[in-house]
Chain A
Amino acid sequence: MTKLVMAVAAFSTQAVFALEVQAMDSSGAPLSLAVVTINGVDIAPVKNSPTVVVEQNGQQFSPQVTIVHPGTSVRFPNRDLTQHHVYSFSQAKTFEIALYGGEEPSPVVMDQPGIIAMGCNIHDWMLGYVYVSPDPLFGLTDKAGTLLLDVDLGAVDKVSVWHPGMSGNAPLEVSDSSRWSEGRIEITLPLPQGNPLDVEQDPLQSHFDGASE
């Protein structure tokens, strides 16, 4: 089981304008790649270019987790020599880009907030997420499981944390401001230890990969 702990803490120098989020799994280990979104009335949205790129590189989505505002176009350029068949059956956005190679397919507009799980039909292990955040501010925890946000603590209404290991489940939401009053919040996700993104390859596919190398 992995637990995701998110810590949100203020900068030590200017405590009121910073929140440090520490994400941990159920064993207390830091949890990277956790999606943290902050909701508050006066919070300025984080900058988000209208088009975001999720590459297919080395038969992986890169980046694996992408956070965007609703209405963002996501491009899926194929950097591999093999073709890919990217799809999503998520309710937020169902799409399918049938087999394509070097020619970049049309971008997909993520118009509704929600978690979009993406896979590749011909590479079952490929798993990527586009997190369409309803909240203005968001970010990903680093390898230490921490995320530092430049935010006015007083404006924060709710802190939501989600991790790919939680699959299609809704994010964990924290509304108790006392949790982050010190400029730091630790959030433990009900996940077992280990990175759920390291999904093992299908044995058959491994065989093919080995053969193609």
Chain B
Amino acid sequence: MTFRRKLQLVIISLLLTVEVLTFVAVLATTRDNLVEQTEQKLLGAVDILATALENRHEELVASVRVLTADFGFKRAVATADGPTLLSALGNHGARVNAGLAAFVSASGELVVSTQSALSQEVLRASGITGLATDMGDVEPQKGAEQAHPIVILQDHAYQVVMSPVRAPQLIGWVVMGFEINDALAQRFQALINVDLAFMSLDSVSTDNRVLASTLGVVDRGVISRSEHLHLTGEDVVHESLATGDFMFTAHRLSMLGQDNFSVILANPLDSIAKAFAQIRFRLLLILLFAIALSWVGALMLARSVSGPLYKLSKVARKISHGDLHQSIAVGGGAEMETLARAFVDMQSGIRDQQAQILHQAHHDSLTDLPNRLLLTDRINNAVARAKRHGRRFALMMLKLDGHRDIDETIGHEISDQLLAVVSQRMKSIARISDTVARIGNDEFGILLEETELDWVPDIGDRLFRLFSQSVEVDGLELRVGVSIGYVLFPDHGDEAELLLRRASVALSAAIDLDGLHLAGYQAGTDEQQMLRLRLSNDLRQTIAQGGLTLNYQPKRNFHDRQALAVEALVRWIHPELGFQPPDEFVELAERIGCIQDLTSYVLSTVIDQIREWRSDGLDVVTSVNLSAHDLANSALPATVKKLLGEANVPARNLILEVTESAVIKDAGFAHQVMTGLRDLGVALSIDDFGTGHSSLTQLRSMPIDELKIDKSFVMELDQKKGDQIIVNSTINLAHNLGLKVTAEGVENLASQALLESYRCDLMQGYLLSRPLDPAAATQWLKDYQHAADAQSDVEPLSTIGAENVHKMRQSQL
């Protein structure tokens, strides 16, 4: 559940609770109020009714008085006989809608009445005549409660008023009665809005009668039997009538000397229920509206909280995607604003850091020059621009000469300062559109926009002049030289990587130049370098995967025909590029630093082969070529010992050949390693003897057992007198030093004969056999041994012709 949902739920449920409680409370109060109101209404209706009756009385009095003041009426009353008087009363009574009219003498005697039921007793009982006699000529006082006498005649109630007749002195009273009937009840109902019933009560016989009412016949019957008719005061009770439940109050209407007239007021509970239902319905509407409103409010409130949070989370997401330029306006109050500001700060912080990182990523920290990455980028841009405008640009690559020496001899700090100064100088002579970048420790790249080939010498000249000026650092006058290689777009390439690589190639060429170290890229040089690079990679892999093979070229021992000896030659057949000359890939291995791996591989393979041969009964002395680098490896003797030990091969089966130059290079260390090897019992041989510059002194002091005369002296030995002298004297010299001699490159019988005559110890060459793969070599050795056993003085391979030798050489190349 989300925070927003939760918030909404809490708010809505709170509001809902409050609203429902309010609803219930209001409803309860309303119901109570309604009942109370109805009670008040009933009680108020009593007062209204009394007042209405009083008002009616006064109206009636006024109308009757007008009647009695009429001269004709007076004359009739004063002079006429009984029947005439009666008809006059009837006539005048009809004028004011009186249901009862009578004349009472001044002394209180009933003279005539329109209703025979109105007897003297009834009249007396009503108190009217008493009033008349008591009061004499004086009218009843207005407002007095006794002023509304009511007479009940034959279940008809009459509100009675009387008015004196003066002609001109008081001659009697006119009594007029106005019926309280259903019509009046209905008029009152219209006034007080409750049902009412005028009743005559008879406490003794309980013969209560409804005289006039707004109620129906059945209800009148029910109400006449009600036990609440004698209620007094402000009692309100509930009464069930035929038409429903009523709230009910009874009020005694006073009569002169009587108290048997009462009015019942009844308010149907139904109407209360109706009103209540209506109020309840409205309240329900209000409740629903309030719920809807609070729902909306809660949604909005929740949104006002969660909205900004959602926005901020979106902002944060965008920031995480790298959009650091968002305007953050979330709204939702001070807290949210603070948070939003924090986001803005964070954004700008990240932006700054990113800019810094970006700068660092693209610039050299020492000189603050663009680095290789940025230079590459700039070159790409320059390529695009130059392409668009059909222009040229140049890329120079510079390498400081002598900087490394300063670094090593004087120190990093000084050399760094030197670099900084030189950088600034280079920058100062560059145009604003050019880029001077530091792309290596002491290597710089300069991108020269819109530059033609003709301009390069001049630019180079300025750079050389710049470097010819000395730099003073810490009181030291320093001077560094520079080599510059350059390329041009589009002549030497149309993409940054290619241009950079070729500039580097050009730089290499420039470094090697004598005199002015400025060189442009020469077509093709780059491809050789690429090839070397590829071979280096492939070689490393091939060594690691054991992809090199070993061939073995047999030797012949002039002194002992049965002695078996071979030279192991490593072979690399590249799957795509084919045969690779051993000289080249060995040198490559040396340069890329995997010569040890190569040597180890070769040694272990050869020693394994020796073991195999030995188990086949072939005791083969095998020579293995070592690199100069191997002699710098002090662990070599241990490695060899280990390999021999593991294969259980005696050390005398192994001869290690080293080149003359390798021995000379670091004579001291090499001597040590060689001694270590020789101590194992391994024989050491100087390979390619005669091509180096070793002195005889060195030769004498070296721990070696054999010399191998380079094939350049041997191949045409039969034809060159000079070679014969050199070979002969070398053999003699070696023998004198206690060394054996092996001649390489023997290709004809004449040369072989010469060597034998010189007492050369061993020979190898195509005359004897080309290098053979292990299986062929094994077979050859077996054949050779067999031949030697069979006829020890027959040349085993003399059948091999010079033509064949020549062919073999061809195929080998």
Point out the residue from A94, A119, A165 that lies within 8 Å of B168, measured CB to CB.
A119
Q: Which residue of B lies closest to A164 (CB)?
A: B169
Per-residue interface assignment for chain B, residues 155 to 193, with 1 indicating a CB less than 8 Å from any chain A CB and 0 otherwise: 000000000001111110000000000000000000000
Q: Which residues of chain A are within 8 angstroms of B78 by Cβ–Cβ distance?
A: 89
> Which label, helix, strand, loop or mixed, suits the secondary structure of the B interface?
mixed
Tell me the count of chain A residues lying within 8 A, CB to CB, of chain B. Answer: 21
B74 proximal to A (CB < 8 A): yes
A85 to B136, CA, bound (A): 27
A-B contact count (CB 8 A): 43
CB distance B79 to A124 under 8 Å?
Answer: no
Given contacts A117-B168, A119-B169, 14 further A-B pairs with CB under 8 A are: A85-B71, A87-B71, A89-B78, A89-B171, A117-B169, A119-B167, A124-B69, A124-B166, A124-B168, A127-B166, A167-B106, A168-B106, A168-B171, A196-B137
Q: Would you list 8 pairs from A and B whose C-beta atoms are within 8 A, ordered by A residue?
A: A87-B71, A89-B74, A94-B79, A117-B169, A124-B168, A167-B169, A192-B136, A199-B166
A4 CB to nearest B CB, Å: 14
- Residue from the list A89, A117, A165 in contact with B79, Cβ < 8 A: A89
Does B168 contact A167, Cβ atoms closer than 8 Å? no
Q: State how many angstroms separate the Cβ of B566 from the closest Cβ of chain A.
A: 168
Distance (whole angstroms) from the CB of B455 to the closest CB of chain A? 134
Interface residues in A111-134 by Cβ distance below 8 A to B read 117-121, 124, 126-127
How far in angstroms is the closest Cβ of chain B from A167? Answer: 5
B72 → chain A closest CB, angstroms = 10
A32 to B: closest C-beta gap in Å:
18
Chain B minimum-CB-distance residue to A190: B136
Query: Which chain A residues lie closer than 8 Å to B167 at the CB level?
Result: 89, 117, 119
Known A-B contacts A89-B75, A89-B78; A118 and B168 likewise in contact (beta carbons under 8 Å) = yes
Give Cα A89–Cα B74 distance, bound, in whole angstroms. 9
Which residue of chain B has its CB nearest to the CB of A61?
Answer: B168
- Tell me which of B74, B136, B168 contacts A127 (CB under 8 A): B168
Let me know if A121 and B169 touch, CB within 8 A: no
Interface residues of A in 191-206 (CB under 8 A from B): 192, 196, 199, 202
Contact B71 A168 (CB under 8 A): no
**Complex interface: chain B residues within 8 A of A124 (CB):** 69, 166, 168
Number of interface residues of B (CB under 8 A): 15
Instruction: Kindly provide the distance from the CB of A5 to the nearest chain B CB, expressed in whole angstroms.
Output: 18
Nearest chain B residue, comparing its CB with the CB of A165: B137
Measured between beta carbons, the chain A residues less than 8 angstroms from B136 are 1, 192
Known: A89-B167, A127-B169. A121 touches B137 (CB 8 A): no
Query: Which chain B residues border A196 with CB–CB below 8 Å?
Result: 137
Say which residue of A85, A87, A89, A202 sits within 8 Å of B69 (CB atoms). Answer: A202
Q: Give B49-75 as 1s and 0s: 1 = Cβ < 8 Å from A's Cβ atoms.
A: 000000000000000000001010011
A164-206 CB mask vs B (1 if < 8 Å, else 0) is: 1101100000000000000000000000100010010010000
C-alpha gap A117/B79 in the complex (Å): 13
Question: 3 closest pairs, A vs B, by CB?
Answer: A119-B168, A89-B78, A117-B169
Q: Which of B102-117 contact A (CB under 8 A)?
A: 106
Q: Name the A residues within 8 Å of B166 (CB-CB).
A: 119, 124, 127, 199
What is the CB-to-nearest-CB distance from A72 to chain B, in angstroms, rounded to a whole number? Answer: 21
Q: Once the chains bind, are B79 and A126 in contact (CB under 8 Å)? A: no
Residues of B within 8 A of A202 (CB): 69
Query: A100 CA to B78 CA in the complex, in Å?
Result: 23
The interface residues of chain A lying within 8 Å CB-to-CB of B168 are 87, 117-120, 124, 126-127
Please, how many angstroms separate the alpha-carbon atoms of A192 and B71 in the complex? 29
CB proximity to A under 8 Å, residues B701-757: none
Kindly list chain B residues whose C-beta atoms are within 8 Å of the C-beta of A89. 74-75, 78-79, 167, 171
Within 8 A of B (CB), among A142-179: 164-165, 167-168
Cβ contact within 8 Å between B170 and A167: yes
